[in-house]
């Protein structure tokens, strides 16, 4: 393949990416609200009954507690769907709180760390206690 053809192809791809960004914008996925998270979790986990739920201030992630078994779940908006992780001993490595922000370190190659700004220091402290209890 000659260099001009390669450059022309790369330019075409760059133009398509720029056109897509101009038409549709560049913004991350968002969670519409706590009800959306609860409906999704009920759909994928038939035994899910929400006990408590907190949506991150940037609306990209949420924490949920299952009232049936006490499981703590992390829900993250990705594209047009959600990624759900059950926060337990093998997955959750560390929890750290600074004010209203929680930092979670996970043993997950695709999601090594998550930072949630919960908008309220008291809510962050409650979730820190729950998550620390899972760590032991």
List, for residues 29-83, the tens digit of each pLDDT value. Answer: 889 899 999 999 999 998 899 999 999 999 999 999 999 999 999 999 988 789 9
Q: What is the CATH number of the domain that holds 80?
A: 2.30.29.30
Classify residue 17: in a domain, yes or no: no
Please check whether residue 70 lies inside any domain of the structure. yes
Q: What's the domain count of the chain?
A: 1
Condensed to tens digits (0 to 9), the pLDDT of residues 78-109 reads: 887 899 999 988 999 999 999 999 999 999 99
Do residues 45 and 60 lie in contact, with contact meaning Cβ atoms separated by under 8 Å? no
Domain presence at residue 112 = yes
Query: What are φ and ψ of residue 64, in 5° steps?
Result: -135, 145
CA distance 126 to 92: 17
Average pLDDT of span 119-135: 94
Q: Which domain holds residue 105?
A: 34-135
Determine, yes or no, domain membership for 5.
no
**What 3-state class would DSSP assign to 118?**
coil
Q: Quick check: is 8 in a domain?
A: no
23 SS3 class: helix
Q: Is residue 87 part of a domain?
A: yes
């Amino acid at each position: 393949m000659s260099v001009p053809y390669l450059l022309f192809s790369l330019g075409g791809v760059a133009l398509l990416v720029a056109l897509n960004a101009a038409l549709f914008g560049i913004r991350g996925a968002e969670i519409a609200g706590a009800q959306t998270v609860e409906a999704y979790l009920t759909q994928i986990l038939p035994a899910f009954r929400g006990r408590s739920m907190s949506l991150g201030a940037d609306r990209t992630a949420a924490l949920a507690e299952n009232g049936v078994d006490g499981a703590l779940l992390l829900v993250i908006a990705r594209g047009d769907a959600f990624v759900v992780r059950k926060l337990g001993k093998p997955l959750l490595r560390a929890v750290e709180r600074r004010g209203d922000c929680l930092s979670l370190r996970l043993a997950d190659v695709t999601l090594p760390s998550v930072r949630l700004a919960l908008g309220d220091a008291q809510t962050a402290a409650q979730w820190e206690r729950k998550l620390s209890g899972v760590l032991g």
